[in-house]
Each structure stands twice: as structure tokens, then as C-alpha cells.
Structure 1
Amino acid sequence: MKKEIKTSNAPEAIGTYSQAIATESLLFISGQIPLDPKTMNIVDGIENQIRQTFLNVENILKEENLAFENVVKLTILLDDLDNFELVNEVMTDLFQKPYPARAAYEVSKLPKNSSIEIETIAVKIL
């Protein structure tokens, strides 16, 4: 069984996908970009974009009573891999060891011309 997870504290889906899908033991969060959920506009500045994207992820996690400690895998898409160090800096503020497994890729373009997109998998039972 799967269940759609939805919160007004993260951007509404802007396509044919769900914010997240929960199974009995896992939560799959669709790629989040740095949209402010109140305005649906991309926030300014790369560090703010990174932080807003993680905030969107966190708010979806909270909808299932989960936190960053439940995250087991991140896929990070950047329009400029030179910003990867900033991602690491922000992650050290938000995550504790053991850090989640992660892949990062530079891509030519992201939705709404954002600089970052983060896809997340979290485990519901630790």
C-alpha cells in the first residue's frame, strides 16, 4: 500500500507527481526546489536556495512525524557543481553523523530555473 503525503508547508506539486509517497516503512519525497510555499516563488541567492530546499524537505518529513535523522538517501541536482561545498556546509547544520547516502549531479537546467533540487528517501522506523 502507498499513501500520498501532502502539506501546505512545502510547495504544491507543479506537475503530475505527489509531494511525497509513504509506504509502511519508507517515505519517498519528490524533488524539492527552493520555492517559498507561501508565494510559490524561488528565493534569492544560492545559500538561501539550498536552505529553502532543505526546509521544504523537512516540512514534508514532519508531516509523517519524521526528521532529518530518518533520511537515508539524498539525490542532489545542481545547476553548478561549484556550489556543492555550500551544500555540504548547510548539511552540517542540519544533519548529524551518520550522514545519509548521497549522490550529486550537475545538470543543465532545473524547474523554474532554480539552482538546486533535492530528492529524498527516509525510513520511518529506526
Structure 2
Amino acid sequence: MSDPTRVSTADAPRNDNPYSQGVRAGDTLYVSGFGPVDPDTGVDVDGDVRAQTDQVLDSIAAVVDGAGGDGLADVVKVTVYLTDLDDYDSVNGAYEKRFDEPFPARVCVEVSRLPGDVRVELDAIASLGGE
């Protein structure tokens, strides 16, 4: 396997914390968790949890693109973190509009709090090998 490579793009939120937006190891890309932050302003997006989920998915797609992939089409696994499981249906609605079959494997968990006190965060794994 090749050495892990840091993936970074201006099209996803940047941070000054000690982690990468994504790390590519061979044909696998591990995308860090993103909240609903506008990458241009660094501010949480306004709107309901569905709009916030769209922003998070835009960020994940941007990191996959930055690694040479095909956006959300290459995502094979997603973890959804919600501060309120009552938001599950809204998040699911936004998610379903952005992914095609076969849908990625997924886990959804309720957490007590997320950085920035946002309501939703997602991370992802993408396969860039193409099959």
C-alpha cells in the first residue's frame, strides 16, 4: 500500500486543528467529519437541518473531488452524527436526494454535542479505485 496522503481543498471548510480534511491511503479516502460550515465564510449555514446536511454533503463531495474522485458517487460508507434523532427524517431526505443506488453503507448515531454546537455532522469513506 502507498503512503497515506493528505487531501486538502479550498472548497471544504478549513480548520486549524491537528487533522486533515481527508487522507488517501491507496485507493481509499477517509474524509473527516464536517459540520454545516460554509467554506468561503467559515460560518455555519443558515436554514433547517436539511439545508445544513446539503452543505455537509457538498464539503464531503469537494474532498473526494480534491482527491481525484467523482464526488459523492465514490462514497461507500457514511457516519451521520445528530444531536437530536428527531432530525433523522429530514437528514434522510437530504441524503437520499444526493446519493444513487447502491447507497453507501451508513451508521447514524445521536450524540450529546458537536463542535460549534451544530445539529449534524457526517464523515465518509470513499473508494477511488474505480470498478
The TM-score range, normalised by the shorter chain, is: over 0.9
CA contact (8 A) 2:30 2:126 kept: yes
How far is 1:63 from its partner? Answer: 0.6
User: Who is 2:65 aligned against?
Assistant: 62
CA distance in 2, matches of 1:17, 1:4: 9
Give deviations 1:75-115, integer Å, cap 9, x for gaps.
11001111111122112211111100000001111011111
User: Who is 1:73 aligned against?
Assistant: 77
How far is 1:65 from its partner? Answer: 2.5
Amino acid at match of 1:120: A
The answer to which of 40-49 and 72-81 deviates more is 40-49
CA distance in 1, matches of 2:40, 2:87: 26
Report the number of matched residues. 126
- Out of 36, 43, 46, the position equivalent to 1:44 is 46
CA distance in 1, matches of 2:29, 2:6: 10
Amino acid at match of 2:25: T
User: Who is 1:9 aligned against?
Assistant: 11
The two structures have a TM-score, normalised by structure 2, of 0.92
Computed over aligned residues only, the root mean square deviation of the Cα atoms, in angstroms, reads 1.0
What are the ranges of 5 or more consecutive residues in structure 2 without an aligned counterpart? none
The answer to which of 62-71 and 21-30 deviates more is 62-71
How far is 1:24 from its partner? Answer: 1.1
User: Who is 1:18 aligned against?
Assistant: 20
Amino acid at match of 1:50: T
What are the ranges of 5 or more consecutive residues in structure 1 without an aligned counterpart? none
Residue 29 (str. 1) matches residue 1 (str. 2): no
User: Who is 1:118 aligned against?
Assistant: 122
Amino acid at match of 1:104: C
Secondary structure of the residue that 2:50 maps to in structure 1?
A: helix
Secondary structure of the residue that 1:99 maps to in structure 2?
A: coil
Runs of 4+ in 1 over 3 A off after TM superposition: none
- Out of 96, 109, 115, the position equivalent to 2:113 is 109
The answer to which of 18-27 and 88-97 deviates more is 88-97
CA distance in 1, matches of 2:46, 2:98: 20
